Chains A and B, each alone.
Chain A
Amino acid sequence: MRLDLTEDQEFFRATTRKFLESEVPLATVRSLYDTVDGFDRTWWQQAAELGWTSLFVPESLGGGSLSGAPATDAVIVAEEMGRLVSPGPFLAVNVVAAALAWFGSDAQQAQVLAGVLSGESIATWAFAELDGRWDAASVVTTAGLDGDSVVLDGVKAYVEAAGVADWFLVTARTGEGLTQVLVPADAPGVTVTRGRSIDMTRRFGKVALSQVRLPASAIVGKAGTAGPAVERQLHLALALQSAEMVGVAERTLEFTLEYGRERFAFGRPIVSYQALKHRIADMAVTIEGSKAVTDALATAIDTDDPKVALLASVAKAYVGEHCLDIVDDCVQITGGIGVTWEHDVHLYNRRAAVDRAMYGSPEEHKALLATNTEGAA
């Protein structure tokens, strides 16, 4: 989240935080653990009213960003969501909204975005497959062209909010190239297997596509040429995810410091010992660095900066690694109570671990950076 927010953005941040604190405090997050969907759809519509789903939707369809820089606006919400490990498919919905706004036909936009905008329908991106990799080479699901139809076959996995989604943006392969297809959840041949994750509220699922035949008008962009679109969607997903991890890390450090100031050992607060203070100082460095690289990535998406792929991989490698390490060390500082259900730190550990893995691990992004100066995808 940038330091030089506009007045509109600052207001958006404040209302977002207030909304999350009052509507989905940690006690609510805990109770959502016991629900199937992990979030309440009426609540999601309230969130939509605050503008969470409008940022990437064209103004002609009732959407609009706050500042003309929608990724920069969106990371504000993502960071606040991280601070309270909030529920809701914010990342998934916005990546699909952005994909349709950037690459979709007028008809596709009209068909999907109104419902997404109001929060009545949920759209999600089905990219990864059974091997859990978010790169073009790992896509084996096929999109065959047959006259005026496109036929999908394959299994998509790690699909966020799959169980509640009304629309899937499916990334598939047509020969050497990629094709993206907008698939209604109730299309014949679509089988959704609901799933859970270690996160309290974030649900993922598998989407099996067996001879799913749709009109060619369901193809987003041109068949076989979706490679750059997929990259752009991945960059946005990584920006939103990095921002969420920044919020996770910063909030975890805050409440760990509160705890450590009040916890005494050998007559001193435990955070007065250099053994902890020096680790905490290192955390402050990586949180500042995480914010800096996340902001740079969001700006690069908004400005079509050619360095965006490099920044996306650097952001994931850096923020993904340090966020989990910070939460992990905060568990250690918290001591025994930090490894119980009662203490909140596990809520953050859960989110940090899930975010670390999804859309490519720091290790996978480092492998890209090691061999290739260009970075992600």
Chain B
Amino acid sequence: MTGTTDIESVETFRARSKAWIEANLPLLSEPWVETRELQRLLFDNGYAGISYPKEYGGAGLTIEHQKAFYDIVAEQDRQVPSELMVSIGIIGPTILDNGSQELKQRFLPPLLRGDEVWMQLLSEPRGGSDMAGTTCRLKRDGDTYFLNGSKMWSSGAYHADYGLCLCRSDWDAPKHRGLSTIAVPLQGNPPGLTIERTRAVSGEAGHFCEEFFDDMPLPADNLIGEENAGWSVAQSLLFHERNAVGGIGMGYLGGWRRGGGAGAFTGIDVGPLREAAERRGVGGAVGTMIADAVISSVVDPLTSDRITLGLQLGTHKGHRGSLSKLQSSLSLHGVARAALAIEGAAALVWDGDDVQLDNAGTSWLAARGSTIAGGTSEMQRNTISERLLGLPREPAFDRDIPFNEVLRNLGKF
């Protein structure tokens, strides 16, 4: 990661982290500690943003140190503020890559302290994959920008403090050259903002939100990167998102490294599948499904580890994160399908008049979330084939012409 020799060795870091984790972090079996409080505990002890520079509140160490820390967290079954994955694993690194000195000093320390929680404002009701096709409108008037339009599929906007919003600032420029990114405050009912929670497929109040902007005023200082340079900021964000979701990012927070040491950890728990198969006596018929789940639980983490190592050694280029993202989301969907099949009728029907959600049937309804959220599998396949393998791009009808014209052309299809 870094050629400097004056940073603490991973081994010493591991030893002191282990002692600290054992003494301070609550066990998973203990009462749940509030996210921001837990993050504050990490921050106050120098374990927030392990691979972030010190000047912005990080520990100034490397991804290897971070991995060591979360391996111990996983081995010891400790709580960490996993809900801050977007803030710390995706938005923070994007601000680090693109923000001015002032912006980084303004936003990163509170982000790492857990005082300000961030989320992404990218997808829109009109679609999510064609992110550069955003139709949210950003217009400048003196020191103030005004935002109009709506965003959707934003995770946890109702309790977040800031959203990083991709919007269109120049409608006469070609699609990718008229975009900007700006920090949008979400708390305290700011004027011009309405947030609604999208009801999840389970029927619960959703984790996802839809935001409506009606001439929402934003200080010009909130702009991240230059005006109309929003696409390069978005590219950097997508890169960090892929890595974070694939378990190889700057800020991953432990969910991925459950279950212990190298080669043993997994995001998939095969135990319940085996138990259900035994309980119902259907072992033979569903053996292949169980075996496939075992294979995913072993191969997926090994793959993401190999990619992490390759990125550190420089033998792998950035887009390799898409391999992990595609692999793990297909596996998660596969395991949900296997659970539905193996548990059979009992996963779908229960006694009593209450709605129950903790069953393989309800999980199945949301199983496609893994292959859609964070970039659909189809978009990952485009990235892998075009960016990683260098295969020719799809022809597009919206390149190099003013975006206004693209919109007019839509009527021709």
Binding site for B on A (CB under 8 A): 3-4, 257, 261, 268-269, 271-272, 274, 277-278, 280-282, 284-285, 288-289, 291-293, 295-296, 300, 305, 307, 310-311, 314, 317-318, 365-367, 369-371, 373
Contacts and interface: CB of A to CB of B under 8 A. Distances in A.
B291 interface: yes
A3 B315 contact: yes
Contact of A272 (B299, B305, B315, B394): B394
Contacts of A371: 283, 287
Contacts of A295: 302, 306
B287 A367 contact: yes
Given A278-B382, A365-B291, 7 more contacts: A4-B313, A277-B391, A281-B382, A289-B303, A293-B298, A305-B263, A369-B294
A317 B295 contact: yes
Q: Which 6 A-B pairs have the closest CB atoms?
A: A370-B287, A272-B392, A366-B291, A277-B385, A281-B381, A281-B384
B392 A271 contact: yes
A314 B295 contact: yes
Given A269-B392, A281-B380, A311-B263, A288 B294 contact: no
B79 to A, nearest CB: 27
Interface in B286-328: 287-288, 290-292, 294-295, 298-300, 302-303, 305-307, 309-310, 313, 315-316, 320, 323, 326-327
Main secondary structure of the interface of B (DSSP, over half): helix
Interface in B42-57: none
Nearest to A277: B385
20 contacts: A3-B315, A4-B309, A261-B391, A261-B392, A272-B392, A272-B394, A274-B382, A278-B378, A278-B381, A281-B384, A289-B299, A293-B299, A296-B263, A311-B263, A314-B294, A314-B299, A366-B288, A370-B287, A370-B290, A370-B291
A289 B300 CA distance: 7
B313 A3 contact: yes
Nearest to B388: A284
B130 interface: no
Contacts of A307: 263-264
Nearest to A363: B288
Interface in B372-413: 378, 380-382, 384-386, 388-389, 391-395
Contacts of B290: 369-370
A358 B199 CA distance: 52
B298 A271 contact: no
B291 A367 contact: yes
Contact of B385 (A4, A281, A291): A281
A278 B377 CA distance: 9
Contacts of B313: 3-4
Nearest to A317: B295
B281 to A, nearest CB: 13
Contact of A366 (B292, B305, B310, B380): B292
Nearest to B302: A292
Interface residues of B, number: 42
Contacts of B323: 284-285, 288
Contacts, number: 121
B299 A318 contact: yes
A170 B288 CA distance: 32
Contacts of A285: 303, 323, 326-327, 384
Contact of B384 (A4, A284, A311): A284
Contacts of A317: 291, 295
A257 B386 CA distance: 12
B392 A282 contact: no
Nearest to A321: B295
A280 B303 contact: no
A369 B264 CA distance: 15
A53 to B, nearest CB: 29
Contacts of B309: 3-4
A373 B294 contact: yes
A175 B240 CA distance: 60
Nearest to A278: B381
A77 to B, nearest CB: 20
A280 B320 contact: no
A49 B366 CA distance: 58
Output the residue of B292, B298, B392 with the most chain A CB within 10 A.
Answer: B298
A366 B305 CA distance: 24
Contacts of A373: 270, 294
A307 B394 CA distance: 44
Contacts of A280: 384-385, 389, 391
Nearest to A280: B385
A317 B320 CA distance: 24
A199 to B, nearest CB: 26
B381 A293 contact: no
Nearest to A310: B298
A310 B270 CA distance: 14
Contacts of B391: 257, 261, 271-272, 277, 280
B67 to A, nearest CB: 15
A317 B380 CA distance: 25
Contacts of A3: 306, 309-310, 313, 315-316
Contacts of A257: 389, 391
A317 B293 CA distance: 12
A282 B385 CA distance: 9
Contacts of B295: 314, 317-318, 366, 369
A174 to B, nearest CB: 32
Contact of A370 (B288, B384, B394): B288
